[in-house]
Chain A
Amino acid sequence: MITLEELKWLSPQIIIAATAILVMLGIAVKRNHLFSSLLTLAGLIASFICLLNAEPGQHLASNIFIIDGFGNYLTGLIICASFVITLFAYPYMQVQKTIKEEFYVLLLLATLGADCMVISNHFITFVLSLEVLSVSLFGFIGYLKNEKFSIEAGIKYLIMAAVGSSFILFGFALIYMATGAMDLQALNKALNGGDLSPLVLTGLALSIVGFGFKMALVPFHLWTPDIYAGAPAPSSAFVATVSKGAAFAFLLRLFYSIGGLSHDSIWIAFAVIATASMFIGNWLALQQKNIKRMLAYSSISHLGYLMIGFLAFSIPGMRSAAFYLTIYFVSMLAAFGLIIYLSGRKGEPLMIEDYRGLFWTKPWLAAFFSVTMLSLAGVPFTAGFMGKFYLLASGMNSGGIFLLVVLVVSSTIGLFYYLRVVSVMLSRNSAEVPEHVGANSWVLKLLVGALFILLLWFGMYPSVFLQMLSGF
């Protein structure tokens, strides 16, 4: 039974669920775009305040949820990302010809799924929150229902996500069959110390495939560029950040608690996946002309970097992974924010060529965009550098030197395509920037400025943020 006290621990999630229902009811009474988006923002803020008042320490809510420092940190991160995406979505949806309000219901439900996923402690809560997240993402990606590209992206994601979920489910079923346990503590008791039976190994392998689909790691990455390019930009931003981050969080919880990474075969499998993601992600990004596809491949390589923190299999590794995830969120949100800033009634500026000469027409915006690109590349004094620095430090302690070399080499490849965007923006061009939503939205201007400051702050003075991570 869930007691009243446990409900209090889960209040951030409950508030988000209630807000989703309220927004839906609000739509039923009267459609108002501004009202829906304000209600969404209020719900997210209330949920965040609840989270700040959470008691420290580790709590189990009747074995199915675990509320600890790591979970709370990621819940907060996801709520912040959703908050930013809601603010992005308002001016973006304002110029679309379709109905607008349901976007926020889907956004809240997807946030709820992700928030429950990072605190889940049992297969059932994980699977349910995964599906809440995926099913709302189908609608979220295919939201512009009169545009062929959006529907195409939605259907591709539908099939891919469903296949990924079924791999995870079948893997979990095999693990349950071998151990008779579904919550992480009981799994830990059943598996730790001894050798893993073939049934458990098969189960873990199948669930790794499923997680690979969800996090778009090579060789399960094929859907990513199509989805990013076809989905409306706020949805792409959501898929790139929240959905991947939540899946990563549970992957980390699962493998840290069952001690799977102390088995060589599993460690090597993950190391191969990480290496392939870093190299192939960066390599394919080099050849892209479409900026959203480029960001998709770049996100594949970033998830590869993130796996180094995961593979360190230690508390510092977990901290550095959470820190890198934060930086990845901020950088990706800034990049998609700028695409949204420049998109208008005629669509989004998809091609890198669309940004030619941006420095001469919109110097500030181009400067922000350059810093975002440099941060994704990991240049010193930007956030990306600090993130990679901590990943390297945690990887060094655990002895995976090979992976660190791969990180450095593939980051160098990555530098080329990020700098190409900057050089295209710097080249001389007299063409005018077409009408875009950012021009008359002070919210977008403020938000882009805030993300810019955050990127530099992380890069130069990260200790404030690192203190937040010391709780786990």
Chain B
Amino acid sequence: MNEIPLNFGLILSALLFLTGLLGVLTRRNVLFMLMSVEIMFNAAGLAFVLAGAKWGQPDGQVMLIFILAMAAAEVSVGLALILQMHKMYRTADSDALNILRD
């Protein structure tokens, strides 16, 4: 039975993190930006699980559970804000948010 090297997992989580970051930077829709941030959180969660497996500790998986719970809390508040924004602007386009500027 061949084990998959740890580095593969590390590269995967780094790629996921970059995907999320690119999404936040390029997407204009606030909902998609929020989803991209979730991908970044999960990339960190994956890295924690890998690290836990490497050291044979349960701590990594415990971190993942907490990250999932945290992300859910964040999304629930975030969606409430986006809903309110949609009520006001009739769009979820982040370019509509332009009152606050120099």
Given A124-B63, A226-B100, CB of A155 within 8 Å of CB of B74:
no
Determine whether the beta carbon of B51 is less than 8 Å from that of A177: yes
What mask results when residues 63 to 98 of chain B are scored 1 for a CB within 8 Å of chain A, else 0? 100110010011001101110110011000010010
Q: How many residues of A contact B (CB 8 A)?
A: 42
Inter-chain contact B99/A149, CB cutoff 8 Å: yes
- In the docked arrangement, what's the CA distance between A139 and B74, Å? 11
> Does chain B have a CB within 8 A of A388?
no
Residue in A closest to B78 when the chains form the complex, CB atoms = A158
What separation, in Å, do the CA atoms of A152 and B82 have in the docked complex? Answer: 10
Known A152-B97, A152-B100; judge A173-B44 contact (CB<8 A): yes
Task: Please name all residues of chain A whose beta carbon is closer than 8 Å to the beta carbon of B63 when the two chains form the complex.
Answer: 123-124, 127, 173, 176, 182
Knowing A152-B99, A152-B100, A159-B30 are in contact, say whether A173-B78 is a contact too (CB < 8 A).
no
Q: Tell me the bound Cα distance from A169 to B67 in angstroms.
A: 9
- Set of chain A residues within 8 Å of B89, measured between Cβ atoms: 148
Q: Which residues of B lie under 8 Å from residue A293 when comparing CB positions?
A: 102
Q: Is the CB of A159 within 8 A of B37?
A: yes
Q: How close is A45's CB to chain B, nearest CB, in angstroms?
A: 29
Contact partner of A225 among B24, B99, B102, CB < 8 A? Answer: B102
The answer to whether B84 and A169 touch across the interface, beta carbons within 8 angstroms, is no
What residues of chain A lie closer than 8 Å to B81, measured between beta carbons? 138, 142, 151, 154-155, 158
Indicate if A33 sits at the interface (CB-CB under 8 A).
no
B100 touches A153 (CB 8 A): yes
- Write the nearest CB–CB distance from B67 to chain A, whole angstroms: 7
Interface of A is mostly: helix
Determine how close the nearest CB of chain B comes to the CB of A271; give it in whole angstroms: 26
Shortest C-beta distance, B44 to chain A (Å), equals 4
Are B77 and A158 within 8 A (Cβ)?
Answer: yes
Verify B84–A288 contact, CB threshold 8 A: no
A166 to B48: give the CA distance in the assembly, Å.
12
**A173/B85 in contact, CB under 8 A:** no
A167 and B24 alpha carbons, distance in the complex (Å): 13
Asked whether any CB of chain B lies closer than 8 Å to the CB of A6, the reply is no
- Which of B17, B51, B70 lies in contact with A127, CB distance below 8 A? B70
Which residues 161-178 of A have a CB within 8 angstroms of B?
162-163, 165-167, 169-170, 172-174, 176-177
Given A182-B59, A229-B100; A135-B74 close (CB under 8 Å) = yes
Q: Which residues of A contact B101 (CB under 8 A)?
A: 226
Closest CB in chain B relative to A72 CB, distance in Å:
26
Question: Is A349 located at the chain interface by the 8 A CB criterion?
Answer: no
Query: Please, which residue of chain B has its CB at the minimum distance from the CB of A231?
Result: B100
A43–chain B nearest beta-carbon distance, Å? 22
| B28 CB → nearest A CB, Å | 12
Which of A135, A163, A170 is in CB contact (< 8 Å) with B73?
Answer: A135
Q: How far is the CA of A123 from the CA of B74 in the complex (A)?
A: 19
Task: Give chain A nearest CB distance to B94 CB in angstroms.
Answer: 8
Contact B85 A166 (CB under 8 A): no
> A131 in the interface, Cβ–Cβ < 8 Å?
yes
> For A135, what are the chain B residues with a Cβ–Cβ distance below 8 Å?
73-74, 77
Residue of A135, A155, A166, A182 ringed by the most chain B CB atoms within 10 A: A166
Determine if B100 and A149 form an interchain contact, defined as CB atoms under 8 angstroms apart: yes
Q: Which residue of A lies closest to B59 (CB)?
A: A182
Chain B residues, CB < 8 A from A229: 100
A128-B66, A162-B74, A163-B24 are known contacts; what are 18 more A-B pairs with Cβ within 8 Å?
A123-B63, A124-B66, A131-B73, A139-B77, A148-B99, A149-B99, A153-B100, A158-B77, A158-B78, A158-B81, A159-B37, A163-B37, A166-B44, A169-B44, A172-B44, A176-B48, A176-B52, A182-B63
> Which residues of B does A touch, CB under 8 Å?
10, 13, 17, 20-21, 24, 30, 33-34, 37, 40-41, 43-45, 47-48, 50-52, 54-55, 57, 59-60, 62-63, 66-67, 70, 73-74, 77-78, 80-82, 84-85, 88-89, 94, 97, 99-102
17 residue pairs of the A-B complex, CB under 8 angstroms, read: A124-B63, A127-B63, A151-B85, A151-B88, A152-B99, A155-B97, A158-B74, A159-B24, A159-B33, A163-B21, A165-B41, A166-B37, A166-B43, A169-B67, A176-B51, A177-B10, A226-B101
Sort A-B residue pairs by CB-CB distance and give the 10 closest, nearest first.
Answer: A173-B47, A177-B51, A169-B44, A166-B40, A180-B55, A226-B100, A162-B37, A170-B44, A152-B97, A176-B51
